[in-house]
Amino acid sequence: MSENPEPFMRANFFPGLQAGPAYWNSIGDYHFAKEKLYNRLFHGFGVISGYLDSLHVQAEKTKGGLLTLLVSRGAAIDGEGRPLFLYEPQALVLDPKKFRLPATVYVLMRYDERFEEFSRSAENADLEGYRKRLETAKLDIAGEIREPELEIELARVALAEEEGGAIGEIRNNDDFCDPGTNTLDYRFVPWASRVKKGVSAYLEKFIIDVLDYTRGVGASGCEALPLACLRSLQTTALSAKMITLACGVFFDDVIHLLQPFFDLDHQILFEIAEYEREHEEAGRLWTTKNSYEAARAAMYEFGDRLKTYAGSYEELGRILKAHEAVMKGLRQTLVTKEISGQDIAYLSYAMPHILLFGEERYTLVDSVNLASQESLDAHEVGLTGDHPSTSNEAFFYPDGTLVHDTVKRWIGGAMRLRLRNIIRGRRLLLIRRTDIHQGNYAVKVTLDDTVFRVLNVEGTDTRHRWRNLFVAFGEGEITGSSPVVSFSIGEKGRDNSGTIWAYQVL
């Protein structure tokens, strides 16, 4: 490829122009030069995949014991951007006697053109000539590639004498990575890119949105339920998104990006059910939720649509929607829906691993179980004040759910504890289960004796006594990995605490 190409000058006709053969030929040369430039810039060097028979080389058995290679039809582009066409299959005879064995020989193709359609003139020989130039190619079997920019390798063979001192046959390739001697080897064939149907910007954006949503479901789901397939879902979605953004995809390739997700969707739904059966004591009945059933129905629809896919935009849209429905069902099954502060107060079931609060996703990083001596010791739980006590209680939440918990009670003073597994510089949400039988008071919640929040125990309820009360600390206030938290009621007043949960934005 020339580093200083000649300027492109297009023909311009005007009255009085004397256009002879040289002028008309320059017009053809102009278009051919443009074609060569286009090929170099957009297609590259090598065999064009999928055109006719892609110049595939096969060994053929012929009469007389000749070693014959048959090159099928196809096209290629050389280093100058010229198109090389082979319109009909062509047979080449490989004569091992021409080479000093052992040797590697190459089936090569290079550009060629020849004049066609000769026009004769009985009156004036100066007016005779060829009307056309046929663009074609020459094939050869050589012991080396002499001009790498102009010669395109279609196959090679490592020739070696066999028993008896001769080569009985050239074998077709059964092992691409390790063809062996006297066997056609396609490993070094260069391939030019072939333009396919593109993807609209609208479809590409939708694909990226679905993949990003899928990645988020995989990440959140894995935090809620430790299944390796959920992490695989996250990784696969991230890889597909990177390919789409960095390399782009042709329309025909989109379906290949989506097919692995059906296997993952099926595996995830199956393993959720298996995990639930193996961990019955956890009491997490994912498979009984409507969202799980909706995800499973969407998964089967996803698979059915993949099987019948015929390459239309409408079908592709339905396939994407079916996978998106699976993801939405999984998210609703495994990850708690977005909740408000009031919602937190009334959560009667086991606190989820992931809490979507406001516009942030909080992950459970620590919890203090007041019924466990191991947990009490690990968190250095201590009480100051009068008449501290511990009792096992069973109270109702406002939704009528009866929940058992161990409660620490005290009059005046404070309860202090040390949180664990805290990540510095990340927002912290501290939730405490509280008995509001005697409510309408405020608790000062202090973090590392430096910053504090007020936890308001509002109202009283003698029938539905459980509430989950919370305070939040900003990312700049979290300066250590094991901060000390104090729940202080002052010199007078009564306070109590059940289980405590610590969530952070990760």
CA 334, 219, 499, 464 dihedral sign is negative
What is the number of structural domains in the chain? 4
E strand or H helix at 69: strand 67-71
| Sheet containing strand 129-142, strands side by side | 129-142, 103-119, 151-159, 184-185
Q: Specify the long-range contacts of residues 296-299, CB closer than 8 Å, at least 24 apart.
A: 296/269, 296/329, 298/322, 298/323, 298/325, 298/326, 298/329, 299/262, 299/265, 299/266, 299/269, 299/326
Pairing of strands 46-48, 191-192: parallel
Same domain, 319 and 347: no
Q: How far is CA 226 from CA 56, 218, 223, 286, 361, in A?
A: 49, 11, 6, 14, 17
Same domain, 135 and 152: yes
**% the chain with pLDDT above 70:** 97
pLDDT tens per residue across span 202-219: 989 999 999 999 998 888
Q: Indicate which CATH number applies to the domain containing 469.
A: 2.60.120.260
Residue 175 has pLDDT above 60, yes or no: yes
Most confident stretch, 95-104, 145-154, 172-181? 145-154
Same domain, 379 and 294: no
Contact 469, 397 (CB under 8 A): no
Residue 284 has pLDDT above 80, yes or no: no
Same domain, 141 and 172: yes
- Residue where a domain terminates, one of 143, 172, 192: 192
In whole angstroms, what is the distance from residue 383 CA to residue 260 CA? 55
Contact 327, 214 (CB under 8 A): yes
Pairing of strands 360-368, 184-185: unpaired
Mean pLDDT, residues 421-428 taken together: 93
pLDDT score for 423: 93
DSSP states of 138-202 as a string?
A: EEEEESS-S-TTTEEEEEEEEE---TTSS---PBPPS-SS---TTBEE-TT--EE--------HH
Same domain, 274 and 140: no
Enter the DSSP assignment of 289.
S
Same domain, 33 and 56: no
pLDDT tens per residue across span 459-491: 999 999 999 999 999 999 999 999 999 999 988
pLDDT score for 278: 87
Same domain, 83 and 122: yes
Same domain, 55 and 187: yes
22: containing domain: 1-42
pLDDT score for 491: 83
The model carries a pTM of 0.56
pLDDT tens per residue across span 8-45: 888 888 888 888 888 888 888 888 888 888 888 888 89
Q: For the chain, what is the mean pLDDT? A: 89
In whole angstroms, what is the distance from residue 226 CA to residue 265 CA? 16
pLDDT score for 145: 92
Encoded tokens for 93: 């005879």
pLDDT score for 316: 92
Beta strands, E only, 436-483 = 441-447, 451-457, 466-473
Same domain, 215 and 304: yes
pLDDT greater at residue 74 or residue 338? 74
In whole angstroms, what is the distance from residue 324 CA to residue 312 CA? 18
Mean pLDDT, residues 115-134 taken together: 84
